[in-house]
A = this chain, B = another copy of it.
Amino acid sequence: MGLLATLLIFGVSLSLASAERPMRRSLVFPMETDNSYVELVPQKDLDMGAFTLCMRVATELAEGNREIILFAYRTLYHDELNVWREADGRYGLYLSGDGVLFHLPELNTFQTHLCLTWDSKLGMAAFHVDGKRSIRKVYKPGHKVQKGGKVILGQDPDSFLKDFQSKQSFIGEITDVNMWDYVLSDAMIEALHVGKRMPRGNVFDWETIELIVNGNVKVITEEL
């Protein structure tokens, strides 16, 4: 439903590199829709036995009892890697099937630095909120994330990049989305939280990533 206005933004990193002060793009999702989202084009296939996913996210939706999609990676038939704030306030990671849920502090109108790590070997999953790690939970040891899908922010696709529900959409601001195909240490994630930019994401690097914007999403460039 609704018309998709597609806009390609790339080469942004080049123009930013020339600026004196460090700049960063930020995605503003101003309202509830069933057609606004941003596709992230990864540097390599999401063919992973482990990962770290980080983002900075601010939303006022957590005041209500509503699902909020935070990250969706979908292949043709499966939700390969979804991150949700659930209707009951918990946070969920879903790797192609049932998820694992965490009790974390609520997202709010200020920016929260949210990271998520998972490793196939022992199946250890953990969130990191503003640099502090949650308990580890055992989740799908031996599983692998499959390549060949699309990563989007702002909507949850119930089929391959279609069938969005506005009541699950994201409203607010997302920036600094980075992904690695390995687990960063607690100390590294704490350093990222306070603004260190190393190590750069080897699956997504927010500084250079190509973004494909659909619908009503504003791409702001902000000074750091």
**A134 at interface (Cβ–Cβ under 8 A)?**
yes
**A63 at interface (Cβ–Cβ under 8 A)?**
yes
**A109 at interface (Cβ–Cβ under 8 A)?**
yes
**A132 at interface (Cβ–Cβ under 8 A)?**
yes
Q: How many copies of this chain does one complex carry?
A: 3
Residues of B within 8 A of A30 (CB): 137-138
Q: Is the CB of A186 within 8 A of B223?
A: yes
Q: Is the CB of A138 within 8 A of B28?
A: yes
Residues of B within 8 A of A134 (CB): 58, 109-110
Known: A63-B103, A124-B28. Contact between A135 and B173, CB under 8 A?
yes
Closest to A174 in B: B135
Q: Find A218's partner among B103, B122, B173 (CB 8 Å cutoff).
A: B122
Interface flags, A117-151, vs B, CB<8A=1, else 0:
00000101001010011111110000000000000
